[in-house]
Every structure is written in structure tokens, then in C-alpha cells.
Amino acid sequence: MATKGVFRVECPQCGESFDADFWTVVRGDRDHDVKELILIGEFDILSCPKCSAMFRHEEPFLYIDPPKDMLAFVMPESYQEKKDEWIARMKADYEPVRATLAGGQGITGEPLYLFGLGPLTELLESDRDREEETEVMEFMAREDGLHLLPVKPASARELDIFFSMPMPAGLSGRAAALKAAKDLRAKNDALPRLKKLVDTLGALKGESVPFIKNQ
Ligand SMILES: [Zn+2]
């Protein structure tokens, strides 16, 4: 998959015009350095070859992370003025390639249409926070001999729970999951998402847990 494109840009400081490389597709699960640039706010910073001025220049790009079930069209912030028009255009461009682009990567959710890096950074930061808390929970669960089942990433974001959930070996129902979560919580009440998981499981009816992946 092509990941870079060349665009002509003009330095706002000295007016020099030059060719610059831009990422057109970023794979969140593979391009770790690029993802880091997004997180630290340096993704779209250019340096003028003539006067060395640093400036920001946005071009549209696609952000894909299949394991996280995420596909986002990230457009320059200035496009927000004509937001509806741009979203309609992106949707029209996307429909014919949906099967290849999303389906081929195992992405099931609807694409996101974001304006500027702000909303993407926010999402990535929240995912990273969730990942870190998930790791702590998983460590505790393994120590207790519990198994871990993956949670649908979109559900994890929507319900603000972990990317996985503890489950006693050999079991799969809601009551068993609720007990496992409560037992972990009794040992560590410092994980906000463990409380969320207990509350979420407690509020469900029946034995099935709809947010477990591949079930
Ligand atoms: Zn310059």
C-alpha cells in the first residue's frame, strides 16, 4: 500500500516553494514512529529548505488500524468549514473500495471522518490509556489463573471498558464474567475500567456478553 505522496508547499516565512513528502496512509498498528509523531504533535510539521522555518501543513490522509477496528479519514482542519461537503465526497470515494480497504483488513465498523489532528490525537491517547489499563488488568487476571477474552474495540471505546475481559477457564457466560471482574476488583479498586466492567456486566440481561469479539 502506498504510504507517501509528494505535494508542493510554500513557506509562509520566505515564500520559497518546495516539494514535501506527506503520509497519505498511516497504518497505526505498524507505523509506530509515525503514530508517535501524531501523538507528540509533530506529524505535519515541515522545515523550509531555504530559511529553516518550521511550519505546519496539513494534507488529507487515511489512518488505519485493523486490530483496533479503526479506519479514519483525517482531513485538514480548514476543511471543517465545508464539513458536510467533504464528508459526502469522502463517503462517495470510499464506497467503491470499502470491501478491499476495510473488509480486506477485517475492519467492521463505520469509518470516522475527522478534521484536523486534534480529534485523532484524542482518540489515540484514549486508546493508549485503555491499553495500559488493560495490561494491568490482564496481569492480575493471569495471576489468578483467569483466561482473557478479546472485547470488540468499538465496544471497548463506546462502553469505556478494557480491550479484553477476564473469564474463568472453561466458562463464557455473563454471570461467570461478572464474578471474575468482581473478584479482581476486590483486589484492586484503583482501575476505573474494572468498575465500569462490573457495572456494564451487571446491567446486562441474560447470559450472553454481546461485546466479546468473535462470538
Ligand atoms: Zn522559508
Question: Which residues are CB-neighbours of 209 under 8 A, at least 6 positions away?
Answer: 165, 172, 173, 174, 177, 201, 215
SS3 assignment, position 47 = strand
Cα 86 from chain centroid (whole Å): 22
Contact, 87 vs 110, CB < 8 A? no
Q: How far is the CA of 44 from the centre of ligand 1 (A)?
A: 16
Q: How far is the CA of 75 from the centre of ligand 1 (A)?
A: 24
Looking at residue 1, what is its pLDDT? Answer: 47
Residues 132 and 159 placed together within one structural domain of the fold: yes
Residues 31 and 97 placed together within one structural domain of the fold: yes
Q: List the pLDDT tens digit at each of the 215 positions of the chain.
A: 458 899 999 999 999 999 999 999 999 999 999 999 999 999 999 999 999 999 999 999 999 999 999 999 999 999 999 999 999 998 888 888 888 877 778 888 788 999 999 999 999 999 999 999 999 999 999 999 999 999 999 899 999 999 999 999 988 899 999 999 999 999 998 999 999 999 999 999 999 999 998 75
Q: Where are the alpha helices (DSSP H) in 18-82?
A: 32-39
Residues 91 and 17 placed together within one structural domain of the fold: yes
Q: Within 13 Å of residue 57, how many CA atoms lie on the same side as its CB?
A: 21
Contact, 64 vs 51, CB < 8 A? no
Q: How far is the CA of 45 from the centre of ligand 1 (A)?
A: 13
Question: Which residues are CB-neighbours of 150 under 8 A, at least 6 positions away?
Answer: 163, 164, 212, 213, 214
Q: How far is the CA of 56 from the centre of ligand 1 (A)?
A: 12
In the DSSP assignment, the letter for residue 40 is: T
CA pair distance 136, 1, nearest whole angstrom: 35
Last residue of a domain, one of 116, 134, 158: 116
The CA-based dihedral angle spanning residues 79, 80, 83, 86, taken in that order and rounded to the nearest 10 degrees: 20
- Output the pTM of the full model: 0.86
Q: Within 13 Å of residue 93, how many CA atoms lie on the same side as its CB?
A: 10
Q: Please state, as a whole number, how many other Cβ atoms lie within 10 Å of the Cβ of residue 146.
A: 23
Contact, 18 vs 48, CB < 8 A? yes
Nearest to 181 by CA among 146, 212, 151: 146
Residue 215 located in a structural domain: no
Residue 45 located in a structural domain: yes
Residue 8 located in a structural domain: yes
Q: How far is the CA of 14 from the centre of ligand 1 (A)?
A: 4
Residue 214 located in a structural domain: no
Q: How far is the CA of 198 from the centre of ligand 1 (A)?
A: 56
Residue 209 located in a structural domain: no
Q: How far is the CA of 17 from the centre of ligand 1 (A)?
A: 8
Residue 101 located in a structural domain: yes
Cell readout for 98 is: 470499502
Looking at residue 2, what is its pLDDT? Answer: 53
Residues 163 and 80 placed together within one structural domain of the fold: no
Cell readout for 54 is: 518550521
CA pair distance 135, 25, nearest whole angstrom: 28
Q: How many domains is the chain built from?
A: 2
Residues 106 and 165 placed together within one structural domain of the fold: no
Nearest to 171 by CA among 147, 199, 142: 147
Structural domain that includes position 10: 4-116
CA pair distance 215, 213, nearest whole angstrom: 6
Last residue of a domain, one of 87, 116, 145: 116
Residues 20 and 98 placed together within one structural domain of the fold: yes
Residues 108 and 137 placed together within one structural domain of the fold: no
Q: How far is the CA of 5 from the centre of ligand 1 (A)?
A: 21
Residues 34 and 98 placed together within one structural domain of the fold: yes
Residue 18 located in a structural domain: yes
Looking at residue 103, what is its pLDDT? Answer: 77
